[in-house]
Amino acid sequence: METTLKTEREATDEEDACKTGSPVKTEKGIGSSETIPAALSIKMERGSDGNDNQGEESINPVDKITSLKTLGPFIASKDNTRNTRYISDVPEICLREPCMLGVDEAGRGPVLGPMVYGIAYCPLNSKQILTDLGCADSKELTEEKRDVIFDNINTQPYACSCIGWAVEIISPNVISNNMLGRKKCSLNEISMTAAIDLIHAALEAGVNIAEVYVDTVGPPEKYQEKLQKIFPQFQITVAKKADSTFPIVSAASICAKVTRDHSLKVWQFPEGLNLTSKDFGSGYPGDPITRKFLSENVNYIFGFPRIVRFSWSTAENALSETACLVEFDEPDSEKPKYAGPKLTKFFQSTRKNGEVQREQCRLLKERFLDSVVDF
């Protein structure tokens, strides 16, 4: 099936056709959320001549993602030092009919930028629509093809009328704090928590989930057992390379990958750096542009900007070579030394043969009394 990006007027008409009237819920970080009306208008910034300003979208503000064009402005309006969650409108049919739900991530390995977890869901009998869209492993598709599929999921009536999705953008700052904090949390734990939270979010939105397919983190058997205990009502399948096996996982993978790509494109440095994604590359340790960025953007005292995951060995090695060495006082781990006898001395003593002998009570000693053991 041939897929192309639509003109602005076509996209607007199709967005109107896709509106369900239900609210859109966005969450930023833990414990904070807001409900956004579904009918928020999204406008283009016009120049004095009535033309678009170099094709850039403006922000009026963009609190709802209705197409690829609105994805970047939505992400740019959020605080990138905290997690952001976005849940699309739930198609009416997904409230009534049993649905399959896929889970996958993007950006697990890079030293820069967020890790994004995504879910996608649709009725069990709508699998052909996923195939028509071209859903396949997002890593096997070009960036342009992923963008087209993501845009079609949100604008094409045949797709947005039966497919819903959600993403959790996990900030590199949050990843670093969790992995390096006193109470350490591994990347696997962060990943599983994000996946579980997104499934819960879909349930709370009213999606009639029947089957869940997950691209594994760690051993698939253990992960599946963990999920089955939390969601015993679902048929759950956890597998390696599920994004290339199950189209619904592929759709989730595409949503996650496109969201991460655009998160990097609109990244704003709170440190005041005037850089674009061309200046720091893909974020993978093997990317020469990324390595150059790491070597040229080290503050002697504070280290890297917060786009960098400090918990990665690539970042640690770079800091050890160029940044100031900082030592923190560790609490005294030695056991306190007591001047007096140990409390246990008054309760038992040991003979040479190892037999425990209890010391007689002073009251019995003073009165020359013995404990009667034989009658």
List the binding residues. Answer: 104-105, 215
Cα(208)–Cα(99) distance, rounded to whole angstroms? 6
Q: Which residues are annotated as a binding site for a divalent metal cation?
A: 104-105, 215
Give the whole-angstrom CA distance, residue 360 versus residue 351. Answer: 14
Instruction: Return contacts of 231-240, CB within 8 angstroms, 24+ apart.
Output: 231/199, 234/209, 234/210, 235/210, 235/211, 236/211, 236/212, 237/211, 237/212, 237/213, 238/213, 238/214, 239/213, 239/214, 239/215, 240/215, 240/216
C-beta of residue 273 within 8 angstroms of C-beta of residue 82: no
> In terms of Cα–Cα distance, which of 75, 35, 72 is closest to 55?
72
Compute CA distances 326 → 7, 129, 214, 316, 330, whole Å.
55, 56, 41, 13, 13
